[in-house]
Structure 1
């Protein structure tokens, strides 16, 4: 899990390339665990204190940063599964969109193009 999380931060902002299923899900789980730890910490701190405000600000900033990194990772994962990156917008559809999005990122790796020109973005 640590290697996948290092790859997540190492490829932060990188829309090119691919991300395997294992790395995608392990990085997603690691991000969820970090956010869960922040939420538990916030619960343990007294509400209304300066420390709780600091934790909320850090959590919101971390969430926004992780959101961007997760979007880039999803683009790479879709490319690895053989789909166009625009399929990530299917998740915006109500009800069925999130299910289709999960199915797409669960698809196995396809054979990759040999040249960078074949990767359309």
Structure 2
């Protein structure tokens, strides 16, 4: 788990290569946990969900800024992870632009990222013995 998350940050601008399905899901889980922790800090610093006071709380501002910085810091690594995952699943990296289609586009890219690793056919395999199409 930690190796996948470390690779996620080390390869944050590496759009080449591949990322396995396990690497993808470990990163999603770690980012989800960090997001939940930041949300809990925000609720605690704000004074609970039902706090109705109009008092300024600098702690909640700090947590909001930290959350925003985390979101901004993960934009490019998330894009590179999805590009590598699409390539590993056997799809063209350009399919990441389907995310620009409202609602359905991100769902399609998410589903494409769930496909198993596609083994490439070796260019030296003259008879294409790994290929099942006749």
Which of 87, 93, 109 is residue 95 of structure 2 equivalent to?
Answer: 87
Distance 2:103 2:83 in 1: 21
Give the number of equivalent residue pairs.
Answer: 115
Structure 1 stretch displaced more, 5-14 or 34-43: 5-14
Could you report, residue by residue, the CA deviation over 1:5-45 in whole angstroms, capped at 9, with x for unpaired residues? 11111211111111000100110110111011011001101
Distance 1:18 1:113 in 2: 15
In terms of Rg, which structure is larger? 2
1:1-121 → structure 2 map (5 Å cutoff)? 1-46=1-46, 48-112=56-120
Q: TM-score, normalised by structure 2?
A: 0.78
- 5+ residue gaps, structure 2: 48-55, 124-134
CA RMSD in angstroms, aligned pairs only: 1.9
Q: TM-score, normalised by structure 1?
A: 0.85
Distance change in 2, residues 1:113/1:31 (3 Å): farther
- 5+ residue gaps, structure 1: 116-121
